[in-house]
Amino acid sequence: MIDHLCITVANFRRSRAWYQAALAPLGYELKYDGEHGAGLAAGFGPQAEEQAVLYLLSAVPGRGQCEPLTHFCLRVDSQAKVQAFHAAALQAGGEDNGRPGLREGYYAAFVLDSDGYNVEVACYV
């Protein structure tokens, strides 16, 4: 089970705004917004929980960074939330990478964020 996930983003403010808009229909909110080491961090998590589960980290010039994660998935409990995420993510400037629909055993949508991360939201039907 994953406790939390951190990704490094090229434009911290743009990415923070995009994730805040795209994750709002899923009930995620900004849980942390501040400094992290020599850079900045923003943490998002479900409204009903205290902790963030997804952190965005600003790239720090001159320091080694992990290779970008290319795909991650957030689980929700309804097709309506998958659809709401997809619409909000596109409205916030994301690029469609798989419209909401049935896959093999689940319902999902995919959107590329401004750094090219493939963000999937899925529910099991």
- The residue among 67, 124, 78, 72 whose CA lies nearest residue 97 is 72
Per-residue pLDDT reduced to its tens digit, 88-115: 999 999 999 999 999 988 999 999 999 8
Q: Please check the confidence at residue 19 and state whether its pLDDT lies above 50.
A: yes
Count of residues for the chain?
Answer: 125
Residues 72, 111: contact at Cβ < 8 Å?
A: no
User: How confident is the model at residue 51, as a pLDDT?
Assistant: 87
d(CA 8, CA 85): 21
Which tokens is 45 given? 């998590």
Q: Which residue has the higher pLDDT, 30 or 57?
A: 30
Digit-coded pLDDT (tens) for 57-78: 897 665 444 455 568 899 999 9
